[in-house]
Amino acid sequence: MKTYSSHLGNLSLLSDAKTRSICPENSTGEKGKGGMCELEKGSARNAARELGKGWKVNPFIVIKPHETFEIANIEGSGAIQHIWMTPTGKWRNTIIRMYWDDQSQPSVECPVGDFFCSGWQCYNQISSLAVCVNPGSAFNCYWDMPFRKNCRITLENRDDENVTFYYQIDYTLTELPEECAYFHAQFNRTNPLPYKSVYTILESVKGKGHYVGTYIAWGVNNNGWWGEGEIKFYMDDDNEYPTICGTGTEDYFCGSYNFEDPYTHNRYISFTNPYTGFHEIQRDELYKSQKRFGMYRWHITDPVRFEKNLKVTIQALGWREGGRYLPLQDDIASVAYWYQSLPTAPFPNMADKDYLEVI
């Protein structure tokens, strides 16, 4: 019997699936093994010194400079259903990676902030089905992440200082339907975008799958409106022209008319909802240079399906005199989220931390 389900409509059905959870207080997720850290080994041993073992002795980890820490290593068949974490340090300097079924190539590789739609190192509340960000820096992910043999998750600290992480990974051990695909997420940044160049959100994807989401941290380097550019999905050997071609940046993120206040026309209006959001606005004066924005679009009800390969791009376009488009040279970072069959094609090399720095 196929016992695995991630749909709210099946919530009342009984199942033989096993619920497990990994955090620093139970790093293996084993049944009956939580809260067993000896006092002298705990990260909070000083706070718990009068209470002893079992009293919140080891609630967080400290990752040393340039160290990679494995926060999950799960054997068997199942799926991650929720990840919560709250980090210290510069979020672009910690890279989260996820490996499915003993692959040496990660299927997820992103700075931790960008993975949770927080690329600008600032708290901004998000209320969506896939990602929630809550006070004060609580990152939550609800993407469904199946695996058949093994799941590994690591955090790499690229900084020269220690970082502290509280985290919890909630998962199920169960059988999986044959048609379950594997979760993927890939980060990219170009700063600045070369003149008359198109920004690439995702490329070199090979296999059968479906694209399920986009997050963009967009830094504008010109005055005026910056979102005339079209998003394009090249699938299954599309060449010069794509199968899906949008009509504008704010249109793709399910807004309209420059995200403006329709009454005053003198400010942007932020929003966050289950499927889309324009949730981050920094330096909130309409059409001024050096503004920064964060936005997400989840294809949960409208996944973009592909059979062989996929490439996703977006243009950066503003306006210049004479009613002409202006190709922009902006600071654009993105995370693409999708599901596909294995193996995962190699990702482009992650840029060094100085190139990724938010300045």
Q: What is the pLDDT of residues 276-293, one digit of tens each?
A: 999 999 976 677 668 999
Residues 175 and 211 in one domain: no
pLDDT for residue 1 is more than 50: no
Give the closest residue to 185 by CA, choosing from 114, 82, 120: 114
Residues 295 and 192 in one domain: yes
Report the number of distinct structural domains present in the chain.
Answer: 2
* Residue 48 Cα distances to 23, 166, 173, 216, 310, angstroms: 18, 17, 33, 42, 52
Average pLDDT, rounded, for the chain: 95
Residues 130 and 158 in one domain: yes
Residues 169 and 213 in one domain: no
Among 161, 179, 197, give the residue marking a domain's end. Answer: 179
Full-model pTM: 0.96
Place of tokens 């482009």: 348
Tell me the residue length of the chain.
Answer: 359
- Residue 9 belongs to some domain of the structure: no
φ, ψ for residue 102, nearest 5 deg: 65, 20
Residues 113 and 223 in one domain: no
Residues 219 and 333 in one domain: yes
Q: What is the pLDDT of residues 6-26, one digit of tens each?
A: 556 678 889 999 999 999 999
Q: What is the pLDDT of residues 186-198, one digit of tens each?
A: 999 999 999 999 9
**Owning domain of residue 270:** 181-346
Residue 136 CA to residue 121 CA, distance in Å, equals 12
Give the closest residue to 72 by CA, choosing from 37, 20, 111: 20
- Residue 352 belongs to some domain of the structure: no
Predicted local confidence at residue 4, as pLDDT: 59
Residues 209 and 323 in one domain: yes
Residues 27 and 174 in one domain: yes
Q: What is the pLDDT of residues 22-57, one digit of tens each?
A: 999 999 999 999 999 999 999 999 999 999 999 999
Which CATH number belongs to the domain containing residue 145 in this structure? 2.60.120.1390
Residues 195 and 341 in one domain: yes
Q: What is the pLDDT of residues 63-82, one digit of tens each?
A: 999 999 999 999 999 999 99
pLDDT for residue 324 is more than 60: yes
